[in-house]
Amino acid sequence: MIDSAVTVETHHLTRRFGPIVAVRDLNLTIAKGEVFGLLGPNGSGKTTTIRMLCGLIAPSEGTAVVAGVDVVKSPDLIKERIGYMSQRFGLYEDLTVAENMDFFAGIYGLEGPGRRGRIAEVVSFLGLNRRLDQLAGTLSGGWKQRLGLACALMHRPPVLFLDEPTAGVDPAARRGFWTTISALAEHGTTVIVTTHYMDEAVRCVRVGLMSQGHLIALGTPDEVARQVGGTDLEDAFIILQERDEGEQEG
């Protein structure tokens, strides 16, 4: 039986691209309603991990269960239970805000009054009311990101994946975005987010540090900082990463 308090569980998750091991032997357990931060430099395997958990690419080895669904066995079913927002604004710039939401609500199988009701709900939750008729391409970074989140939330997914959601977004909008993330988590949505910003990392319940495809630290931001005897997550992050790279070379 799968523990209902656990929404993501991986065992020995591994992905190779030819001779390169992008993700190596990853073991993770993430609880329902947790905001989990995946940190690490570019190329450390964060995006590959998220893509495997979303069923976008198949693992080379290991297993992963997300929201009760085995991503290897049912990569299609998993897509109904997750929301996904990437660093690249993946919405239609030549459609209006309302048309984008309507399209994704339809793609997630919402129909009739149910669709209209849910769209209205998401619109007021994210404050998109006054932008509805604007073309998505003309929105600023912060508004684009809110629209992206709105589209990813249409089907009330129990798990939300955010791949560097705040890249290119101004600080005020980032703060607002994190308030929204916290609100979602309070209502039981599990959020898995990758980021480069340490002020965002400390807002996560737990963080996992990745380097060269594997996990080098896991715990609350405080726990991770204490692992190297410091109090600052950013210092810990740099020290742990250099240590890992030294081990690889030695």
Partner 1 sequence: MRRFGPMFRKEFIQMRRDRLTLGIMVGIPVLQLLLFGFAIQTDVRHIPTVVVDESRTPTSRELIDAFENTGNFRIIAHLNGRDALDAWIARGDAQAGIVVPHDFPRDLARGTTATIQVVVDASDPLSSQAALAAAAGVAQVRNLAILSAASSRGELPLEARIRPRYNPGLRSPNYIVPGLVGVILTLTMILVTAMAIVRERERGTLEQLIVTPITKTELMLGKIAPYIGVGVIQMTTVLLLGRFVFDVPLTGNVLLLYAIAFVFIIASLAFGLFVSTLVRTQQQAMQASFFFVLPNILLSGFMFPRQAMPAVFQWIGALLPLTHFLKVLRGILLKGVGVAELWKEMLILLAFAAILIALSVRRFRKTLD
Encoded amino acid at 52, one letter: M
- Cβ distance to partner 1 smaller for residue 36 or 104: 104
- Cβ distance to partner 1 smaller for residue 191 or 233: 191
Q: Report the run of H or E that residue 17 belongs to, with start and end.
A: strand 6-17
Q: Which of 3, 93, 186, 223 binds partner 1 (CB under 8 A)?
A: 93
Compute the residue count for the chain. Answer: 250
Distance of alpha carbon 33 from alpha carbon 186, whole angstroms = 7
Q: Which of 6, 21, 31, 57 binds partner 1 (CB under 8 A)?
A: 57
DSSP string covering 206-230: EEEEEETTEEEEEE-HHHHHHHTT-
Distance of alpha carbon 221 from alpha carbon 207, whole angstroms = 6
- Cβ distance to partner 1 smaller for residue 40 or 59: 59
Residue 35, SS3 per DSSP: strand
Q: Which residues contact 47 (CB under 8 A, 6 or more apart)?
A: 163, 194
Encoded amino acid at 247, one letter: E
Contact flag: residue 146 with partner 1 (CB under 8 A)? no
Contact flag: residue 58 with partner 1 (CB under 8 A)? yes
Choices 65-73, 98-106, 170-178, 223-231 (CB under 8 A): range interacting with partner 1:
98-106
Residue 120, SS3 per DSSP: helix
Contact flag: residue 56 with partner 1 (CB under 8 A)? yes
> Binding string to partner 1 for residues 211 to 240, with x set by CB under 8 A, is what?
------------------------------
Contact flag: residue 114 with partner 1 (CB under 8 A)? no
Query: Interface with partner 1 by CB under 8 A: which residues?
Result: 17, 51, 54-58, 75-76, 79-80, 82, 84, 86, 88-95, 99, 102-109, 111, 151
